[in-house]
Every structure is written in structure tokens, then in C-alpha cells.
Amino acid sequence: MSSTTTFELAKFHAPEVVLGTGSLAEAGFAAARLGARRPLVVTDPGIIEAGWVDELTGHLREAGLDPVLWSRVTPNPRDHEIRAAYAQYAAWDCDVIIGIGGGSVADAAKGVAILSGNGGDILDYVGVDQITRPIPPLLMIPTTSGTGADVSQFCIVTDTERSVKVTILGRALVPDISITDPRLLVTMPEELNAATGLDALTHGIEAFVSLAHNPLADTHALSAVGLVCRNLRTTMTAPRETDARRKMAQASLQAGLAFSNAILGATHAMSHQVGGLLDAPHGVVNGVLLPHVVRYNARATPQRFVELASAAGLGVEGMPGEEAAELLADHIRRLADDIGVPRGLKELGVSEEDVPRLARTTLDDACLTTNPRLASEQEIADLFRNAL
């Protein structure tokens, strides 16, 4: 090895990961290892109806634990929901926090942990590394295949007074244990399957071109992109086909590991604003915006898009990067068409009048910091208009 060889410094944060069919049965042992006695189980009514909460609490009781349930989580969790969940946590003298559900449930569970360890209000912690004191142990069990919140250092909360989604980011928010049981993905509604699958694809692509990317995150990002492109359609057309479900569970997990460590970009920064304003489904908004952001970012880092397009299954070897990015953007749009995602933001309720406000608030989103190409308020507004 040459004495001039240098290595860039890479940090990689990850929870203990349990992945496999039937792995929900490990939840009792996992919670006990974290010191649980009376864990707070955070979930939503749909997961209760699907039967997964009963199965989970059964495993927890078998391990000698006394779980307490809080289920008033709605999509794009609101600041007041997190305050109410924390009040329940404190009133019942809970310890470990278990989230079973999609990304909204995971974000709510993380919000409870922040307040438990640090006090104050959840909106006090917006930004990067504002959490200064230890938080309770976190065990996450995803029921969707895309958000990656079960392994990430992100917590996304809706500020109801300003109608914006805010980002709380910090190493403390990486859960202690993540349990991914592909069986739990089967009960997702079709539209949620589509949305979370596109969210995973967006995580992989944005993490790979992020200014904070590193070789460890890159490997997970490329794998996730390929798994989504090869398997998401199958989970829509044959929802109980187990191999595709397992692969989408893995895609979600790997995409989460990638973006937790490499952070994200303009697609997410913009999507958070639409979600905050209109309570629109996050993954669907990503799916609409992503092709436009891919084309925009290709000028800054063209070669990275050749690798992404190749991972997606496109024959782009030797092709100029911007050309490969164009093919990738078209490929993403075809995938979105095939799984029933609207072609424009207008179909989700965004109007031309909303654009200036959305562009302005995008500039404050932490995800924009690592986008590979600088974007002015006017350029973001143009991207929003192109996506209408």
C-alpha cells in the first residue's frame, strides 16, 4: 500500500438490528435487555386493528413486563400529540419506549423520549444536536417499508402553530434496537405501501449524493435503490408474495441506515414543507418531487447519478452523468405512475399561491444543508412550480 494513501474519516451510527420473519417474538427479550419494567408502547389505531399490538403486548407480558399503551398518533405527528404522549409516560412511571407503527409513530416515540430526558417543549429541540441530556431506551418495530425512522437519528414533528414540519436531528435519537418483521408489512394499505416505498427510494438516492455521504452509507444506499426498483411493484400487485416483502423490509432498513448517516437533500427539505402545510403523505410528495430534484442536482455531482442509475437497473455504463440522471428521473416517474402516485403537486392540493411560502420555509430545513447543489429561494420555487 502506498504511504500516500489516505482514508477519510467516517462515522456510522446504527441500532442493534433484528431482521426476519417472526422476529416480533424477540420484542419481550429485547425490551427486557434495555431494562424495561413498564414500557410505553406508542402506536396508532390502525396497528391495533391489524392485531400487531396484541401480539406485541403478549410477548412483553411473557417477558414479565407491564406495558402501557398510547395510541393517539396521527400521520405527520403534531407537537400537541407528543406533549400528550409524554404526559402519559410520566403519569404511569414508564421507562423504555417502544414504537410499533410507521414513521409517524416512530417520530412520536422519539419525541416522548426527548421530553422525558430533557424537559421543556418538543419545539425547543428543532435543529441539530439540541438534545443535551440522555433519553430513555428506544425499541422500534416498523410496520411500513420505507420511512427508516426505526434506525435513524431524525425526528420529524408538525409545528401546528406555523403549519410546518420541523426536523430534530441528533445521535441520541438513533434507537437502541430495531426489530423488522416482514409479516407486519402485509397489513399496510396499498397507498401507504406505495408512499413508504418511494420514501425509501428517496432516502437511498439523496443519501448517496449528499455532501455528507461516506463509503459505509453508500453501500446501504445503493443496495436500497436496487431493492426498491426490483420489488416495490411486486408488493403492490402481489401483496402477500413473501420474497418481495422481505426485500422491501431490507430496502427500508438499509435506506434508513444510509440517510441516518449521510443525511438527505432538497427533496426532503421541500417535502417537509408540503406535509406541514397540507398534511399530505410524505412519501407521495417525495415521489412527485424526486425526479425534478434529481435533474437539478445532476449538474453538481453527475458521476454519482451514473452509479445510482446502474443500481436501479438501467444500462448507463460509460454514459455522461447528466444523461444518466435524466434516465433515472424518468425511471422514478414510471415507477410512481405504476404504483398510482399523482404526477403533480396540484393533485395533492398545492397551488401556485403556496409556492413562495413553501420555498421560503424550505430554506430553514436542516436537510437542505447537505444537498449537493446550492439552491436559492428562487431556484426552490422553480422546482416547486415544475412539480405542480
The CATH number given to whatever domain includes residue 250 is: 1.20.1090.10
For residue 353, give the C-alpha cell: 399561491
- Overall number of domains in the chain: 2
Is 6 a domain residue?
no
Give yes or no: residues 224 and 353 share one domain. yes
Percent of the chain with pLDDT over 70: 98
Give yes or no: residues 346 and 213 share one domain. yes
d(CA 198, CA 202): 6
| DSSP class of 77 | -
Is 104 a domain residue?
yes
Give yes or no: residues 339 and 363 share one domain. yes
Q: Is 54 exposed, middle or buried (0-12, 13-18, 19+ CB in 10 A)?
A: exposed
Residue span of the structural domain in which 309 resides: 189-387
- Span 331-386, pLDDT tens digits: 999 999 999 999 999 999 999 999 999 999 999 999 999 999 999 999 999 999 99
Q: What is the pLDDT of residue 219?
A: 97
Q: What is the pLDDT of residue 280?
A: 86
Is 356 a domain residue?
yes
Is 290 a domain residue?
yes
| DSSP class of 78 | B
Q: Which of helix, strand or coil describes residue 125?
A: helix
Give yes or no: residues 220 and 361 share one domain. yes
Is 10 a domain residue?
no
**What is the total residue count of the chain?**
388
Is 383 a domain residue?
yes
Is 208 a domain residue?
yes
Sheet holding 127-128: strands in order across?
Answer: 127-128, 164-169, 154-159
CATH number for the domain that contains residue 31 = 3.40.50.1970
Is 320 a domain residue?
yes
- Span 55-103, pLDDT tens digits: 999 999 999 999 999 999 998 899 999 999 999 999 999 999 999 999 9
Q: What is the pLDDT of residue 3?
A: 40
- Span 275-308, pLDDT tens digits: 999 988 899 999 999 999 999 999 999 999 999 9
Give yes or no: residues 50 and 152 share one domain. yes
d(CA 112, CA 116): 6
Give yes or no: residues 217 and 357 share one domain. yes
Q: Which residue has the cell 428517496?
A: 202
- Span 38-58, pLDDT tens digits: 999 999 999 999 999 999 999
| DSSP class of 21 | T
